């Protein structure tokens, strides 16, 4: 059975949501990053960058959430269209958009606006502005679409858990109605709700 090393954060939930949607059996192992579990020598053997998530599947060991999502999509043949099609690259480009922007930048917004407010006005402004810009891009893209790409995909699994922290990055989803519609449609899916509650249940999916 797949072992998922994770915590109750957007990057961790990407993978638990994917596992739930794919119907893959897994064991979620809590790596409490508030207690520095991510620096433990056993965990570093599978995640040398000392960050969650990581998975072990038989003799395969993978860290970096984007790589894990791709691994799971290839393993199951689900949620990633066949390579060579535009649909495939639509998923890939939005997955990379999340990994390179709507994760790192929004994460910095969390750092300065939620965890350490009032310490550095310039950084708060910079990352909030960039977060709002990224929401604008996503909002425009989602017009007339139910999902980020043609169908539900690993790109939705990657982006949605970050949007679920709208409160941390001080975004009113009412200002981005297409993102709100997409977010709410996925929030009611039982697999998203089960994945959100891993590796421990800290309350229901946030609703705007």
Ligand X SMILES: N[C@@H](CCC(=O)N[C@@H](CS)C(=O)NCC(=O)O)C(=O)O
Residues in contact with ligand X by CB under 6 A are: 9-11, 33, 38, 50-53, 64-66
The b/e string for 18-53 (b: 16+ C-beta within 10 A; e otherwise) is bbbbbebebebbbbebeeebbeeeebeeebeeebbb
Identify which of residues 8 and 139 has a Cβ nearer to ligand X in the complex. 8
CA 98 centroid distance within chain: 8
85 φ/ψ angles, rounded to the nearest 5 degrees: -100, 155
The residues with which 62 forms a beta bridge, in sequence order, are: 55
Measured from the CB of residue 66, what is the shortest distance to ligand X in angstroms? 6
Nearest to ligand X of 44, 207 (CB atom): 44
Nearest approach, Cβ of 136 to ligand X (angstroms)? 23
Q: Is the alpha carbon torsion for 177, 104, 190, 19 positive or negative?
A: positive
Give the nearest distance from C-beta 169 to ligand X in angstroms: 13
d(CA 158, CA 148): 10
* Identity of the residue, 33 or 185, whose beta carbon is nearer to ligand X in the bound complex: 33
Report the residue number, 51 or 180, with the smaller CB distance to ligand X: 51
CB-nearer residue toward ligand X: 35 or 86: 35
**How many CB atoms sit inside 10 A of residue 193's CB?**
16
Q: Residue 41 and residue 44: Cα distance in Å, rounded? A: 5
Of 50 and 76, nearer to ligand X (C-beta) is 50
* Residue 143 Cβ vs ligand X, minimum distance, rounded to whole Å: 27
Report the 10 Å Cβ neighbour count for 202: 8
* Minimum distance of ligand X from residue 185's CB (angstroms): 24
Report the distance separating Cα 165 and Cα 11, nearest Å.
Answer: 11
Q: Report, in Å, the least distance between residue 33 CB and ligand X.
A: 4
């Amino acid at each position: 059975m797949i072992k998922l090393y994770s915590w109750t954060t957007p990057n961790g939930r990407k993978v638990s949501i994917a596992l739930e949607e794919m119907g893959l059996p897994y064991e979620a192992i809590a790596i409490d990053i508030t207690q520095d579990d991510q620096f433990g020598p056993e965990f570093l053997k599978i995640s040398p960058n000392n960050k969650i998530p990581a998975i072990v599947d038989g003799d395969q060991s993978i860290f970096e959430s984007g790589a894990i999502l791709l691994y799971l999509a290839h393993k199951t043949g689900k949620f990633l269209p066949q390579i060579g099609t535009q649909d495939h690259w639509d998923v890939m480009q939005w997955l990379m958009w999340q990994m390179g922007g709507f994760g790192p930048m929004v994460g910095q917004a969390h750092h300065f606006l939620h965890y350490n407010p009032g310490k550095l006005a310039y950084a708060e402004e910079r990352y909030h502005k960039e977060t709002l810009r990224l929401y604008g891009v996503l909002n425009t893209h989602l017009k007339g679409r139910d999902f980020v790409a043609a169908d539900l995909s690993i790109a939705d699994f990657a982006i949605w858990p970050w949007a679920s922290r709208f409160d941390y990055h001080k975004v009113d989803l009412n200002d981005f109605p297409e993102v709100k519609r997409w977010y709410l449609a996925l929030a009611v899916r039982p697999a998203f709700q089960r994945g959100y509650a891993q590796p421990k249940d800290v309350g229901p999916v946030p609703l705007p």
